[in-house]
Amino acid sequence: MAILENVRFVDLVDDAPIRYTTISSPIGRLTLVGDGEVLTHLSMESHEDTKPEIGDGWKHDRRAFKEARTQLNEYFAGKRDAFTVPLAPSGTEFRMKVWAALCAIPFGHTATYGEVAAAVGNPAASRAVGMANHYNPIAIMIPCHRVIGSNGSLTGYGGGIDRKVQLLELEAPQQELR
């Protein structure tokens, strides 16, 4: 698995106002956070570990993230297999490498923690890859749900294994999941 060089990770302007909105999806309510176009967080209703706390000065904006909302709706309708929304996750250098590697896992495919670790140049870092997945701030668009155990098992997912199964089945309905 090659790491994509063109993953759209961007930097936000430091003084950009933070906006957020929520949308309904087949896997529950999703919260989108960023500057209104660039995403810094996409979390699921019960995904507490990476769910941003609504900060002072944040503006709820139902019109924000028009392109992200459109692409997510297309994804859940089975009409989109890649996202082009600019993303601005914040994390350590290692986590950023892992998140870029996750974006290189093709729609409808999975990779093991070990394969992702090898892709970022540290084949012994399977557990660290798991922690990077745990702290992934932009669920679904940075597809940590595509990472599985070395034996093919569906190991942990912050949104819950049931949601991981839903996402993988959406992406590969003909594939039998363990």
pTM assigned to the model: 0.85
Residue 154 burial by Cβ neighbours in a 10 Å radius (0-12, 13-18, 19+): middle
Res 178: pLDDT: 46
Provide the H-helix boundaries in the chain.
66-76, 93-103, 113-119, 126-134, 161-171
Give tens-digit pLDDT for 121-162: 999 999 999 999 999 999 999 999 999 999 999 988 888 999
Give tens-digit pLDDT for 37-54: 889 999 898 645 545 566
* Spans of all domains in the chain: 94-171
Look at residue 8 and tell me whether its pLDDT is greater than 70. no
Give tens-digit pLDDT for 67-86: 999 999 999 999 999 999 99
Is-catalytic flag, 144? yes
Cβ(73)–Cβ(127) below 8 Å: no
Which residue among the candidates 117, 138, 144, 168 is catalytic per the annotation?
144
Task: Determine the straight-line distance between the first and last CA of the chain, rounded to whole angstroms.
Answer: 22
- 46 φ, ψ (degrees, to nearest 5): -105, 15
Class of domain 94-171: mainly alpha
Res 17: pLDDT: 83
Cβ(102)–Cβ(119) below 8 Å: no
Place of tokens 């810094």: 40
Give tens-digit pLDDT for 164-175: 999 999 998 655
- Range in 44-58, 60-74, 76-90, 97-111 with the lowest mean pLDDT: 44-58
